[in-house]
Amino acid sequence: MKKLLLIGRSGAGKTSLKQALRGDTVHYQKTQGMVFEDFLIDSPGEYAENHDLGAALCLYSYEADVVALLIAADDDYSLFPPCITCMVNREVIGIVTKIDKADPRRAERWLRLSGCQRVFAVNSLTGEGVPAVLEHLQNNKKPTKIVQNKEK
């Protein structure tokens, strides 16, 4: 399983998505610091909201295989500037959360403008869209066969 770093503003649904991806019961829990569990890294919203803490997210991205930018469908704005994904040398996906609260198309457009090629729409409470994210994180790569040079 690829390791996933969740980034988004406070209230975007990062921790709820983490709980849904792990198969846990979804309940409110404020993330106070970086949380490393299984294949997931959950970041506090303040890291994305505060310029002085944003550099830490760049460093934590090196601990992940995939970085996820989250925007809730009912958010009024995006924290992520255009073309921001080029700043990370990892795969960056977009995840629209809370799709039951509002039309997710605006949040999807913001994520695509930020540079996300792949965008998922999820509802952590019902589980809608969660299996697609899990499937994306599956390590489907075949092992590389090493060929030894037999020249003498």
- CA–CA separation, 50 vs 67, rounded Å? 18
- Quick one: fold of 4-137? Rossmann fold (3.40.50)
- CA–CA separation, 53 vs 58, rounded Å? 10
Please tell me the pTM assigned to this model. 0.88
Residue-wise pLDDT tens for the chain (152 aa)? Answer: 999 999 999 999 999 999 999 999 988 878 878 999 999 999 999 999 998 888 888 889 999 999 999 999 999 999 999 999 988 889 999 999 999 999 999 999 999 999 999 999 999 999 999 999 999 999 765 544 555 555 54
Distances in whole angstroms, Cα of residue 46 to Cα of each of 10, 11, 74, 108, 115: 7, 10, 19, 22, 22
